[in-house]
Amino acid sequence: MPVFSQRSEPRELVLTPREELIAGGPAEQLEQQIQTSFKGGVHRIVVDLRDVPMIDSAGVRALVRGHTTSERLGRRFCLAGAHSRVIDVLRLSNLDQVFTMSDSVPLARTRPWPWSQIVTVVFVIIVGAGLVFTGYMWPPGAVIDLTAGEGRDPFGVGTTSPVVGPSPLYELAKLIVAAVVGMLVTIVQRHYRADRSPNPTLDQAQVLLCVSGALMMIIIGTSLVRAFGIAGAASIIRFRTPVEDARDITVLFILMALGMAAGLGGFAVAGLGTVFLCAMFPILNLFASDRPRQMLVEIQAEGRNFPVDHVQKVFAVNRIVFEPREVAQGEEATVRYLATLAPNDSLEDLSSQLMGGGKTGIKNVSWSLPKRV
């Protein structure tokens, strides 16, 4: 009798264990089934726990790994119909607040409304429309008259009409608009970032860069001398933090441009640019492919003899491109590899295959991100 019965729909899988999820078979089978399904392209997995009377640490590990894998891949993982004893075990580790749990499978399979995305889209449209309306009602105040004959500018192309200096509140409004534009673009970009990992430093840098663009245009005004002064000051600054994704660099440049538009009082341009940029994220995401990850793996053998054939076999089976980086030969041989992994490859699963239950001669496996130069 199979441990699990499965009902599969396009990109959806329902797993129904029919015995205790404990070490020694059922828990490991469930864990392997979940990981294999996510790796095969399943977008949503529901684990029906109605027929599971008890669960131990191995079963909890299988569920936790399913949840973490779904979070890393941007998929969905749900539990349904869990008994009170199973919920008590999860509650002891505060996991009842981590998992998405439903009373029945039909409720778990119901697709919830993406309210956060809906609110974000509505807010982007409202802010964009408001900025466009404001830009039409109060266009930028600098007006250049190319037909007048007096007071020619230094380049001899016309005259500059006298403009009354704007109020400080108007300049503050420009900075607020730039900050709102930067925050909106950053919030939308989070949903479509390739690695889906939070990067608060980059998020804050994007907002501040948009504000800095507005502030520079406010300071420069119509002064050519100030423009050269700010350009000279900016050339002194050196940014040492590398940006891994080229799309993030491009967004930084666009946010600088939107901030400059806000600083010039071009609220209509800033609003249209914000709506257009936010709309481009989901469109470009349709044509984007998952980017492979590069990781450093350090494998420590139990003795002087390193199991090279076993390690290379595991890498070959999982289609991992690798190259040796460091070899340390002592009482225990240690080798570090630079491995290129697919986005859905599980580090825990790979470590388990390399360790082989302690029968492969490998003592320890550790993963780390390679240092960026």
Give residues with Cβ within 8 angstroms of 156, minimum separation 6: none
Overall average pLDDT of the 199-217 stretch: 86
Domain ranges in the chain are 4-109, 115-286, 293-368
Overall average pLDDT of the 138-159 stretch: 48
Structure-derived torsion over alpha carbons of residues 191, 196, 202, 203, reported in degrees to the nearest 10: 30
Overall average pLDDT of the 75-90 stretch: 89
- Above 80 in pLDDT, residue 139? no
- Above 70 in pLDDT, residue 142? no
Distance CA 227, CA 178 (A): 19
Angle of CA points 148, 150, 153, to nearest 5°: 90
Residue 237 CB burial class (10 angstroms; 0-12, 13-18, ≥19): exposed
Q: pLDDT tens, 319-359?
A: 888 898 888 888 888 999 999 988 777 787 788 888 887 78
Q: What is the CATH number of domain 4-109?
A: 3.30.750.24
Share of the chain above pLDDT 70, in %: 81
pLDDT of residue 175: 92
CATH number 3.30.70.260 is the correct assignment for the domain at 293-368: yes
280 vs 214, 283, 285, CA distance in Å?
23, 5, 8
Distance CA 33, CA 358 (A): 22
Phi first, then psi: what are they for 99, rounded to 5°?
-75, 150
Residue 307 DSSP symbol: -
| Confidence band of 197 (pLDDT split at 50, 70, 90) | low
Strand 76-80 versus strand 44-48 pairing type = parallel
Q: Residue holding tokens 């709506």?
A: 275
Distance CA 277, CA 181 (A): 10
- Above 70 in pLDDT, residue 372? no
- Above 70 in pLDDT, residue 126? yes
- Above 50 in pLDDT, residue 1? no
Distance CA 32, CA 34 (A): 6
pTM: 0.65
pLDDT of residue 210: 92
How far is CA 2 from its chain centroid?
Answer: 38
pLDDT of residue 79: 92
Residue 146 DSSP symbol: S
